[in-house]
Amino acid sequence: MMADPKSLYQEVILDHNRKPRNYGTLAHASHKAEGHNPLCGDHLSLTMNLDGDRIDGIAFHGESCAICKASASMMTATVKGKTRADAETLIREFRDMATGKLDLTGQPHHLGRLTVFAGVRDLPTRVKCAILPWHTLHAAFNSVVSASTESEDDPMHAPIGDA
């Protein structure tokens, strides 16, 4: 199973699931948001400190599947220290990759190691698991306190089959 390069459950994802980075809550966060996928019960809580335009600190915790937790862990590790504009570019690119709109080989992008999640595009019911942390980051930037994968007015809303 692990020899299959198409497998979503690559070692890097399993590692981030086992030992999530930036796991917890920031005491004095300037921005925060709750992410929830009512279809599968995934839930995560994101706290973030913006120093001007730069992400000074970021942490998450919650209950979710391995794909969601690893995505959150790798997201926080990637965006920490980046500007809001850079993080928002990543949000857009990650979403496009997960929904199959981004051609990883043909189009320029900044996803780096985050491309390990590209396999979710073939698993429609799991796309939302991978995207939820990025939904939540988007919500935190916009001081939206609660994000849901199912709210129609969410600009991140991806119309994909139910889980």
Partner 1 sequence: MTAIQTALKSRQGTGFDVERIRADFPILNLKVGGKPLVYLDNAASSQMPQPVIDRLVRYQTSQHANIHRGVHYLSETATREYEEARRKLAHFINAREEREVIFTSGTTEAINLVMHGHGRKFIGAGDEIILTTLEHHSNIVPWQMLCEEKGAKIRVVPINDAGELLIDEYEKLFNERTKFVGVMHVSNALGTINPIKSMIEFAHARGVPVLIDGAQAAPHLQVDVQDLDCDFYAFSGHKLCGPTGIGILYGKAALLERMQPFKGGGDMILSVTFEKTTYNTIPYKFEAGTPPIAAAIGLGAAVDYLSGIGMHAIAAHELDLLNHATAQLSRMPGVRVIGTAGEKAAVLSFMVDGVHPHDVGTLLNQDGVAIRTGHHCAQPVMQRFKLPATSRASFAFYNTTAEVDALVAGIRSVQKVFS
Binding footprint of partner 1 on the chain (CB under 8 A): 1-2, 4, 7-9, 14, 17, 39-43, 63-67, 123, 125-126, 129, 163
**CB-nearer residue toward partner 1: 66 or 160:** 66
Q: Closer to partner 1 by CB, 8 or 79: give it.
A: 8
Q: Tell me the closest approach of the beta carbon of residue 128 to partner 1, in angstroms.
A: 10
Smallest distance, partner 1 to C-beta of residue 54, A: 33
Look up residue 161 and give its two tokens.
Answer: 């089959």
Q: Cβ 57 to partner 1, closest distance in Å?
A: 27
The residue (of 29 and 66) whose beta carbon lies closer to partner 1 is 66
Of the pair 22, 64, the CB lying nearest partner 1 is at 64
CB of 1 to partner 1, least distance (A): 6
The span from the CA of 157 to the CA of 150, in Å, is: 7
